[in-house]
Chain A
Amino acid sequence: MSTEQLLKTPLHALHLELGARMVPFAGYDMPVQYPLGVMKEHQHTRDQAGLFDVSHMGQIRLTGAGAAKALESLVPVDIIDLPVGMQRYAMFTHENGGILDDLMVANLGNDELFLVVNAACKDQDLAHLRAHIGAQCNIEPLFEARALLALQGPAAVTVLARLAPDVAKMTFMQFQRVTLLGVDCFVSRSGYTGEDGFEISVPAADAEKLARALLAEPEVAAIGLGARDSLRLEAGLCLYGHDMNTETTPIEASLLWAISKVRRADGARAGGFPGAEAVFTQQQGGVSRKRVGLLPQERTPVREGAEIVNEAGEIIGAVCSGGFGPTLGAPLAMGYLDSAYVALDTPVWAIVRGKKVPLLVSKMPFVPQRYYRG
């Protein structure tokens, strides 16, 4: 795809001005790193605060009295009882139990839900919503209308509270309307780095003004997609299309925690989402493979796609995400392994350039999450 065909976020000109190295990502021309570089951007986010442009992600508003009930028919998550002002992690399931996309759902109150979906899936997600629940609620894509900024790191709350003191009272996964620089925004206390922080939905026309104001604060640096990936990997968070897809179920992806109790086989509103039968069969009968954390025991990073073998050299799985963790100071990975090998500290080997690199099955997150729970 040539650069001319790539979409641009409302902050594109700002990225160029900041000296970003731009790469194609999900159809957008996006900053992979700034002059600071991935390692320092990563560590700056863990030490202070990083500002990420995630405007390529899809924002969708659902409205109408039937919106929550309708959305429940597509996700294995409790949406009906999602409290006003709260956000929850969810996934669209396929009829085979696989995952079509993962998303965040927030309840704004007054029968209004606010969704954030992955950039690469957003057109497909919108079509999916329209096809299945278009008759039950109003579906409004905000793809061009709104930008999305993430302010992440231990200083994020100090910085954002300078613009709106009340955000300091929010706790992890709370979501509310906040006025920033006179602009109506939606703010959630969540993110994709394992750190405390916020995601800010802002009208596209005001995005650059807000981004510049945040970057002017001494604690804040612009952070690219490279560090976003290493941060989320250290935090053990899944990346759609890599760590899960339509061929992996929530059970295989180790995302049972995200299936609300009320929607599970023995729950009050059991099932009622695509692929429920397949998911429940796996939940009760077990799975043949599972996503686990993996720690290479040498300095060699182990990348996505690398085969994993047992001591006898038989293939028992593959790496789905892998690289180097700047905070961990070592390589790290996630992979799908045959269920016989998923116990913690099981020794397995990845094949890297024809050589066996020893790995240990590891708990996740690799770096402790530091969410603010009040």
Chain B
Amino acid sequence: MSELRFTEDHEWLRAEADGSVTVGITAFAQNALGDVVFVQLPELQAYDKGAEASTVESVKAASGVYMPLDGEVLEVNDKLDGSPELVNEDPMGEGWFFRFKPTDADAVAKLLDQDAYDRLIKANAEA
């Protein structure tokens, strides 16, 4: 788990052995969203960093999930089509969104690590 990285938009990223990166939303994010009823997954194509690659819909609202780095989406989690509740039940595992190949392989390590993300959550909670 030490290899997890995070964005300020509450996505988690895990570097896989083959050089690809798996993306999902954090436990904090799913809790803030509430019950997820639909996930619009990205297309298998290249996206720029910051592009709205995916959308997650809770009972009440739609929220964008942004491409954390420049890269090409290789695979999406089709299970979310039939079982969007996996995002709530297992956000860091079965509820993953997509896997992509970053344009710059070194960019992942420069994102927030667990400690930095925990501090961000704490700061949010106190704000």
Contacts and interface: CB of A to CB of B under 8 A. Distances in A.
Interface size on A, as a range, is 10 to 19
Interface stretch (B12-20, B53-61, B118-126): B53-61
B34 A38 contact: yes
Interface in B8-53: 34-35, 37-38, 40, 52
B55 A39 contact: no
Nearest to B61: A303
A38 B38 contact: no
Contact of A301 (B52, B62, B81): B62
B97 to A, nearest CB: 15
Interface of B: 34-35, 37-38, 40, 52, 55, 57-62, 81, 84
A324 B59 contact: yes
B83 to A, nearest CB: 11
Contact of A324 (B37, B40, B52): B37
Nearest to B57: A301
B38 A324 contact: yes
Contacts of B84: 299
Given A299-B81, A353-B40, A38 B35 contact: yes
A326 interface: yes
A38 B61 CA distance: 12
List of 5 A-B pairs having minimum Cβ-Cβ separation, nearest first: A324-B37, A39-B35, A38-B59, A299-B38, A301-B57
A124 interface: no
A339 to B, nearest CB: 29
Contacts of B59: 38-39, 42, 226, 230, 323-324, 326
Contacts of A301: 37-38, 57, 62
